[in-house]
Structure 1
């Protein structure tokens, strides 16, 4: 049970820190205000949430905080299939709680409304893409970004990699992913993150687009996991059976 609680808290922090910074601080004070962190600051916020929680509870649960990461580690023979569903449930619950907290806090400001293309820092394509990008652009972006994210995770946590440093490249990798893809999809690479805020967005179209932000990240993650295990992993790497024992 400790693992599931750790995943819930870690995902809660990821969504609260990342999406919360986008809703509360990205455009604080209006355009041109020096106190607004803009999308560069939001990108950094997402990276910092993963870095801090990976060090805080990664030794308890592995620090997934993302259903796509769990699937990618499973495909890479680093995670048992029996743990997939409880991990995903914990991650989604943590994300939903964070989405609710963001809505409650944001509603305390005069003039707050769930308007615009991406209310509550939701993800989307077409009219719900920050830059107006198409479904195909969003699909390709989310697959590739999650693929690379899992390669970073699998490589930095490989037992041949320097020990103890994995959260740093993982956090910086997620920052870079956001710097690239916020204009396209508002950056998901994480089905729980997308779901947690979409449910409170008040927009049925955004909820209807959630399928892409489950399908594409999981596909990209599974492809990365399979590639890493079949091509980059040591032949003597521990199997899932070894992990369970």
Structure 2
């Protein structure tokens, strides 16, 4: 949202800090209620899955976050919604559900679906075992890179759609 200029830097930093604190509290609550299962399942901490490389994990996080953020921007784009006003609202919702579902399901075996750095941090801090920290950078770098790519490609999509509208009206 910061890169899309929909949030100020101050607000973005505040949201980031609050999301991280919320994730830490959430992970602690889960550990408190389900401690035996929590430990057995690795505390929900994201790790690169067996048989995958760090590059695979980084790529999965980039692509998963890119698809999710791109879909959100596309579904909430005011210009697109005005142009496609004849399309039912549920179609945008369907796009969002299908792509976000794909992001989560496709990345589960590779990274456990990080996509949200704050959630990954909260689980790693509360679980606090080496496996949670070994490749933790992937769960920050991947989502930030994927979101940045989606932010930059959404205006390009808008320009392409505007060009197609011009051609259609001629």
Whether these two folds match at TM > 0.5 is yes
Greater mean deviation of Cα atoms: 79-88 or 135-144: 79-88
Moved over 6 A (4+): none
> 1:100 aligned to 19, 28, 50, which one?
28
Closer/same/farther in 2, CA of residues 121 and 171 from structure 1, 3 Å limit: farther
**1:138 maps onto 2:57 in alignment:** yes
Closer/same/farther in 2, CA of residues 170 and 92 from structure 1, 3 Å limit: farther
TM (norm. structure 2) is 0.78
> 1:223 aligned to 149, 152, 157, which one?
149
Closer/same/farther in 2, CA of residues 78 and 164 from structure 1, 3 Å limit: farther
Larger Rg: 2
**Alpha-carbon offset, residue 208 of structure 1:** 3.5
Q: Structure 1 unaligned segments of length 5 or more: list them.
A: 1-72, 235-245
> 1:150 aligned to 69, 75, 91, which one?
69
Match of 1:84 in 2: 12
Greater helix content: 2
TM (norm. structure 1) is 0.56
Q: Give the whole-Å Cα distance in 2 for the aligned partners of 1:202 and 1:147.
A: 28
- Work out whether residues 76 and 228 of structure 1, in 8 Å CA contact, stay in contact via their aligned partners in 2: no
Q: Structure 2 unaligned segments of length 5 or more: list them.
A: 160-170
Alignment RMSD (CA, Å): 2.2
Match of 2:43 in 1: 120
